[in-house]
Amino acid sequence: MPHASNAQFHPPLSLCPDLPVSPKPRSLTRFLLLASLGLGAIGSAQAATYYVRTDGGSAAQCTGRSDAAYPGSGSAQACAWNSPLVALPASGAARIAGGDTLYIGSGTYQIGSAMQPVPSGSTSNRTRILGRTGGSVPKLAGINGIHRVIDLTNSSNVEIGHLEVTDLSDCVYGHPSAGCQSGGAWARGGLYASNSRNVWLHDMNFHGLGARGIQAGGLTDWTLERVKLNRNGTAGWVGDLGSGSSSNSGNIVMRDIEIGWNGCGERVATGEAWACWGQQSGGYGDGLGTAATGGHWLIEDAYIHHNTSDGLDLLYMDGGNDSSVTLRRVYAVANAGNQVKVTGNALIENSVIVGHCTFFKGKYTMQDSESCRAYGATLLLNLTGNDTVTVRHNTLAGEGDAQIVHTGGQSSDRINILNNIAVGFPYFVNGQARPFNAGNAPGTKSISGNLAWNVSSCPSGVSCSQNPKLTNMSLAAFDAEPLAGSPAIDTAPRIAAVTTDFLDGARPVGVANDIGAYEYGSDAGVPPEDPPSNRMRTGGNAPPLPSNPGSGNKGRLRAAPVPGNGSTGTAAPAQRATPDEQPASRPQALTALVRRMYDAIFAN
């Protein structure tokens, strides 16, 4: 099979025909580029391609070079292997080499011993491990308490995609009452990586692991697209390796991701969250957290929700001149600590951040004292000197000590807070109103064009006398879309660099931009045939995400299976049911970025 150039670190569509293409303009450009790369790959050097199927054979029985079942007798037959462990055995030499491709067929594969690290490819010929498309998503299920299902230690120039990674137990590693038993059908983690560069993870679902979905540090130039990290027992993404260097460098890019319900176990039979715990109970609970790190982090179209500690914790960014955080179209809601926190240079725009930090109070076995860790600030900014932080066109709400907290740093820092909406709710400690912004950061602050409601103090550059008139202004079902007649409409000073909104729709609509994350009346990139009643919006903190969000809809919404449904395979005694929804009631509307994420992952 021809092997594509790695110049843009994406495969040509000819090699991954069912890879979904997002309808956004960015993806159209990528589509045209990848098509040209695919044509250019014709006649390039051949790379070995191997296959895994549940009806394949052992290393002695099959060569792995043919996508065919083991015929039932003979050795060295032209047939597929029966497990990824044949390709990457725990001991002995790997049976695939750098630059090879391993296709894994539908079904469940129990991984009971640690696979060795994926061999590194090259910048022009990366190693690829891909689930076959066109059927149910292949499931790699860790058992026997293995520390990781996929290992990327010292692995570079690698692509992994179209896989579900989980285990087959309800247990939560280290939990006082739901702990894991030695030798059981559980795994500590889904993927481990260190000293790894130029890796692309896409269309993957890490869920229900005993401890963490991904543990990764010492990374350079990693990209995650259409990846989910949900209901892992201690955390979603852990960036602290505990030994060696955990600091990252280069570009760390995450697009169309979901990180939710981490710090909770997952019931195999139902897919629901249970046994949730935070740090005071001995757990952890961050959705994404790192150790001290550098790098340029870009996170777009992210849904970060219902984690038992912080949602997105980038507080340990090193604050260096060559590191930064950019967040666009992030929907962070109902995490039990801070929703978002960053250190150093940062840009946060077109996001909806809802600090419902008491969501877990009295629910899911969480201790009440674990709610609103670190005072529950909706957005926490930490400065280090010579930093520039810009917070613009966001909608924030919360019950913590302030909507925006800025702390630390020096007088050389610059803090720009522009065109945001903030809605305060009674402080979880004493029920009193709290300020729009607070903190001891001595840097220069530029605050203008903001609209706030129910806050205790109103600095210059913030209008606090008008109800912003949003669709739902209760904390439990907060919906940030402005209603007709909202004072946010057509009243924001123009920022030339901001030309779209939270829904990726055009700004401005009307005579001026709107304050906050939404642009009222924007088409949001939805095809005309999509009826408005089918458009998902922010609103509600009930367990979200339908398993078939596009069922019955026209346009880009399509009925499609969620990874984890229907993938029964032949090798596992138990299967997880619908891991992407909670059985409890769901809100009627969700953010459009979540819809786009599902469109991208599951569109035909």
The pLDDT confidence band at residue 551, using thresholds 50, 70 and 90, is very low
Q: What is the 3-state secondary structure (H, E, C) of 159-201?
A: EEEEEEEEECCCCCCCCCCCCCCCCCCCECEEEEEEEEEEEEE
Residue 368 lies in a domain: no
Which of 189-193, 210-214, 531-535, 591-595 is predicted least confidently? 531-535
Residue 565 CA: distances (Å) to CA of 64, 213, 473, 548: 27, 19, 35, 10
Are 155 and 117 in contact by the 8 Å Cβ rule? The answer is yes
- The answer, yes or no, to whether residue 549 has pLDDT greater than 80, is no
Asked if residue 183 is part of any domain, the answer here is no
Q: Is the pLDDT reported for residue 267 higher than 80?
A: yes
Domain count, the chain: 2
Asked whether 5 and 44 are in contact (CB, 8 A), the reply is yes
Contact yes or no for 349/393 (Cβ under 8 A): yes
pLDDT score of 7 more than 60: no
Give the pair of three-digit tokens for residue 219: 């990374």
What does the DSSP 8-state code read for residue 376? G
Q: How confident is the model at residue 591 (pLDDT cuts 50, 70, 90)?
A: very low
Residue 284 is assigned to a structural domain of this protein: no
The larger pLDDT score, comparing residue 218 to residue 554, is at 218
Task: Give the integer Cα–Cα distance in Å for 343 and 323.
Answer: 10
In a domain, 506, yes or no: yes
Q: How far is CA 515 from CA 93, 436, 474, in A?
A: 59, 15, 19
Please provide residue 31's backbone torsions phi and psi, each rounded to the nearest 5 degrees. Answer: -60, -50
How does residue 536 score in pLDDT terms, banded at 50, 70 and 90? very low
Taking the C-alpha atoms of residue 415 and residue 450, their distance in angstroms, rounded to an integer, is 14
Bond prior to 508 in cis (omega within 30° of 0)? yes
Asked, for residue 320, whether it belongs to a domain, the answer is: no
Decide: pTM greater than 0.85.
Answer: no
- Name the domain boundary from 525, 542, 568: 525
- In this model, does residue 489 exceed pLDDT 50? yes
* Residue 75 falls inside a structural domain: no
Q: Give me 114's structure tokens.
A: 């640690």
Tell me whether residue 541 is in a domain.
Answer: no
Categorize the per-residue pLDDT at 244 as very low, low, confident or very high, splitting at 50, 70 and 90.
confident
pLDDT at 571 over 80: no
d(CA 590, CA 538): 5
**Secondary element (H or E) of residue 595:** helix 592-602
Place of tokens 């049911």: 577
pLDDT at 234 over 70: yes
CA distance 227 to 398: 27
| pLDDT (0 to 100) of residue 510 | 93
Domain boundaries, position 21: 1-44
Q: How confident is the model at residue 243 (pLDDT cuts 50, 70, 90)?
A: confident
Q: Which residues pair with 165 in a beta bridge?
A: 140, 206
pLDDT > 70 fraction of the chain, expressed in percent and rounded: 79
CB of 303 closer than 8 Å to CB of 593: yes
Of the chain, the percentage scoring pLDDT greater than 90 comes to: 76
What does the block give as tokens for 7?
A: 């110049």
* Strand pairing report for 212-230 and 249-260: parallel
Amino acid at 7: A
Tell me whether residue 419 is in a domain. yes
In 3-state terms, what secondary structure has residue 283?
coil
- Mean pLDDT (the chain) is 84
Give CA–CA dist 538/480, Å, rounded: 6
- Please write the tens of the pLDDT for every residue from 387-425: 999 999 999 999 999 999 999 999 999 999 999 999 999
Dihedral angle sign, alpha carbons of residues 470, 475, 479, 481: positive
Which of the four pLDDT bands, split at 50, 70 and 90, describes residue 601?
very low
205 compared with 598, residue with greater pLDDT: 205
Final residue before a domain boundary, out of 472, 490, 525: 525
Consecutive H or E run containing 108: strand 108-111
Domain C-terminal end among 29, 44, 59: 44
**Assigned token pair, 249:** 């460098």
Instruction: Single out the residue of 58, 67, 50, 52 nearest to residue 127, CA to CA.
Output: 50
| Residue 385 near residue 408, CB atoms below 8 Å | no
Confidence of residue 42 (pLDDT cuts 50, 70, 90): very low
Alpha-carbon gap, residue 199 to 216, rounded angstroms: 12
Predicted pLDDT of residue 524: 56
Question: Tell me, what DSSP letter sits at residue 560?
Answer: -
Name every residue whose Cβ is closer than 8 Å to that of residue 503 and which is 6 or more positions away in sequence: 518, 519, 522, 524, 525, 592, 593
Confidence (pLDDT) at 565: 27
